[in-house]
A = this chain, B = another copy of it.
């Protein structure tokens, strides 16, 4: 089989990486920027000033658009596109975490293509271009700074949909771990969970794998577990923040699936999208709230794979009973989520869906019965509903 690894983003990594912002924008041809960000914190704490000072020095014009929020909204994307058209924007600079970056990607698609940008997210048609995007990262989580992914929530109908295309891979990403020192513990752990899950989703599928990719994946998950705990102890532990930040990029830039026959399972992500689309919960927490239930539902398809994961990540010795080893691995992973204060049930997530809610979630996750999800085990609408139900806790 053929796989592609294409991660062209120029990553500048380390303290004060933001100081290369002006030069990077210039090198990539930006003349009129839309700077898209989330919370006003990045303005108040002086980060935006450091960026705009460099742009002023380079003689590069810019317009600011804040307000990107977790589960970024289509309405703000539309507003960004409107501003971008009015001001002949030719480059989008995202300052923030996955929300600002994903929203920036959607704006960049909208400005480079005719018609309604939501079409791309519902699979109605494909974009032919995308404006160039740069990133100043302030949160280690989604890996959107190097990935081809963007996930947007349409408030009309609480629909959360993702679109992947190499067109949207950022041309540069500035990764300064110290910018994440002020991220509160809960958001930090949600990010840690999301980082791990991007690799875990890729690890579980039903095709052949490249053992080098498996080894790198397990090394990454081990490292993220270790450092996810460390940052809760000391939010200003530079090394721990640095490891998480780089892991966030590597976990989602394609490295963790290269040479594998399938691109991963992704059922947990798809089920989580409906949870956060409906309940506006944090993505990372939504993922951990269903992963253990998903794992118990599917592991007998190939318990050896879970056993290999348990051995590689947690050092769980293999026995003659792979099903037992697999369950040990699942429990160890859940303990790890608990240790960074992430939920392992919907109840712990603070969500208590009614029977009707379960129907609705399963309808949406299966695109109203039109698709199955998963690759390790293929799940139809009934399977999906069963997992949501069992995950209630």
Contact = CB atoms under 8 A, between A and B. Distances in A.
A65 interface: no
Contact of A258 (B11, B213, B220, B227): B11
Contacts of A218: 219
Contact of A210 (B2, B8, B17, B246): B246
Interface residues of A, number: 40
A324 interface: no
Contact of A13 (B9, B15, B220, B258): B258
Nearest to A249: B5
B16 A246 contact: no
Contacts of A16: 2
A301 interface: no
A128 interface: no
Interface string A176-216: 00000000000000000000000000000000001111011
Nearest to A8: B8
A222 B215 CA distance: 9
Contacts of A13: 2-5, 258-259
Contacts of A215: 219-220, 222-223
A15 B2 CA distance: 7
Contact of A212 (B1, B247, B259): B247
A342 interface: no
A24 to B, nearest CB: 11
A259 B216 CA distance: 17
* Residue of A9, A16, A210, A239 with most chain B CB atoms under a 10 A cut-off: A210
Nearest to A17: B2
A286 B7 CA distance: 33
B246 A212 contact: yes
A297 to B, nearest CB: 30
Interface string A218-246: 11101100110000000000010011001
A368 B246 CA distance: 40
Contacts of A250: 212
A210 B10 CA distance: 19
Contacts of A219: 212, 215-216, 218-219
Nearest to A174: B2
Interface in A28-78: none
Contacts of A243: 210-212, 259
8 contacts: A4-B11, A4-B12, A6-B10, A212-B219, A212-B227, A212-B250, A216-B220, A243-B259
- Which are the 10 A-B pairs with shortest beta-carbon distances? A8-B8, A2-B14, A215-B219, A5-B11, A219-B219, A6-B10, A212-B243, A212-B223, A3-B13, A215-B223
Interface of A: 1-17, 20, 210-213, 215-216, 218-220, 222-223, 226-227, 239, 242-243, 246-247, 250, 255, 258-259
